[in-house]
Amino acid sequence: MLELDAVTAGYDRRAPVFRAASLTLAPGESVGLLGPSGCGKSTLARVAALLHRPDAGRVTVDGEPVRGWRHRAPRRLRTAIGVVFQQPRLSADPRLTLHDLIAEPLRATGRRTEAPERVAALAAATGLTGDLLTRRPHEVSDGQLQRACLARALVLRPRWLVCDEMTAMLDASTTAALVAAVEEYRAEHGAGLLAVGHDRVLLERWCDRTVEWAGCAEPGT
């Protein structure tokens, strides 16, 4: 279970972006969170990925309450949740080749020996072909870079996946390809998914159920 209970978060304690947000994902379930832009759903996605410390509320991952966020979260918990962001340009270290980008979590967790095999498998799964893996982010298109970012999120075999507007910048075909890659991974590993976005048609097609932002959180001040 991935549970968010009465979470209040923002960037200024006196003016939270949202209050009392609650959301529960069953193992293997995919949930689409629908909300208008600027409502705070990206902040909620960061809280769920243990990347942003909420001002109040509880987050529980597979029964284990989360006590620290970002570097203070245990590595075991952090790596149980893969995350993909909206803008691939900003989410990729510009100096790494796509191969190193995908392999980086393996290196950071001392599992670099798995890298050649895992990167090859994920490149195939996300449709990265040819010499793309040897290039740096500025030499590939947004769509190709986002494929690499998805591969990076999957490389540690997370039990949960948080996709924050993963396809908002992408064309229809790349969107369908990325969603198919996510679903293939989930079918194989039984991972749960929180997909945050504003595209109702997409999320309703993609996810088991969708949740309206208004029904899940209260606006901040």
Partner 1 sequence: MADLTTKTDISRQWRSHGRTRRSTRTVRVTASALITAATVLAVLVVPPIVQLDEQAIDLALKLRPPSPAHPFGTDDVGRDLLLRCVYGLRVSLLVGLVAALVATVIGTAVGAAAAAFGGWTDRIVMRLVDTFSSVPHLLLGIFIVAMFRPGVWPVIVSVALTHWLSTARIVRSEVLSLRSRPFVDAAISGGASRWRVTARHLLPAVLPQAGLAAVLMVPHAMWHESALSFLGLGLPTHQASLGTLVQTARGSLLAGDWWPTLFPGLFLIVPTLAIAGLAGAWRERINPRRRSELML
Partner 2 sequence: MKPDTVKPDAATSDAVRPGAVAPVLSVRELSVRFRMRGGRHIAAVTGASFDLAAGECLALVGESGCGKSVLASALLGLLPGNAQTAGSAVIEGTGGTDAVDLLTASERTLARTVRGRRIGLIPQSPAAHLTPVRTIRAQLAETLRALDRTPRSALPAAVTAAADRAAFPTGLLDRYPHELSGGLAQRAATALALVGDAPLLLADEPTTGLDRDLVHRTADELRRHTDDGRALLTITHDLAAAERIADRVAVMYAGRIVELTDAAAFFGAPGPRHPYARGLLAALPERDFRPIPGLPPELGDLPTGCAFAPRCPRATDRCATAPDFADGVACHHAEEPARA
Q: Which of residues 156-195 bind partner 2 (CB under 8 A)?
A: 165, 168-177, 179-180
Name the DSSP class of 208: S
Question: In the bound complex, what is the minimum distance in angstroms from residue 11's beta carbon to partner 2?
Answer: 15
Does residue 157 touch partner 1 according to CB under 8 A?
A: no
Does residue 79 touch partner 2 according to CB under 8 A?
A: no
- The smaller minimum CB distance to partner 2, of residues 70 and 205, is found at 205
204: Cβ–Cβ under 8 A, 6 or more apart, which residues? 32, 210
Q: Which does 174 bind (CB under 5 to 8 A by kind): partner 2, partner 1, none?
A: partner 2
Exposed / middle / buried, residue 96 (Cβ in 10 Å: 0-12, 13-18, 19+): middle
44: Cβ–Cβ under 8 A, 6 or more apart, which residues? 4, 7, 9, 18, 21, 23, 33, 196, 217
Q: Which does 138 bind (CB under 5 to 8 A by kind): partner 2, partner 1, none?
A: partner 1
Q: Which of residues 73-102 bind partner 1 (CB under 8 A)?
A: 75, 78-79, 81-83, 85, 87, 90-95
- The smaller minimum CB distance to partner 2, of residues 66 and 149, is found at 149
Question: In the bound complex, what is the minimum distance in angstroms from residue 142's beta carbon to partner 2?
Answer: 4
Which of 2, 17, 33, 50: binder of partner 1 (CB under 8 A)? 50
Name the DSSP class of 168: T
Distance, in Å, from the CA atom of 50 to the CA atom of 66, rounded to the nearest integer, reads 8
Residues in the chain: 221
Does residue 167 touch partner 1 according to CB under 8 A?
A: no
Q: For 121, what's the count of Cα atoms within 13 Å in the CB-facing half-sphere?
A: 11
Distance, in Å, from the CA atom of 53 to the CA atom of 48, rounded to the nearest integer, reads 10
Q: Which does 85 bind (CB under 5 to 8 A by kind): partner 1, partner 2, none?
A: partner 1
Q: Which does 155 bind (CB under 5 to 8 A by kind): partner 2, partner 1, none?
A: partner 1
Backbone angles phi, psi at 51, to 5 degrees: -105, -5
List of residues contacting partner 2 (CB under 8 A):
36-38, 86, 127-129, 132, 141-144, 165, 168-177, 179-180, 198-202, 204-206
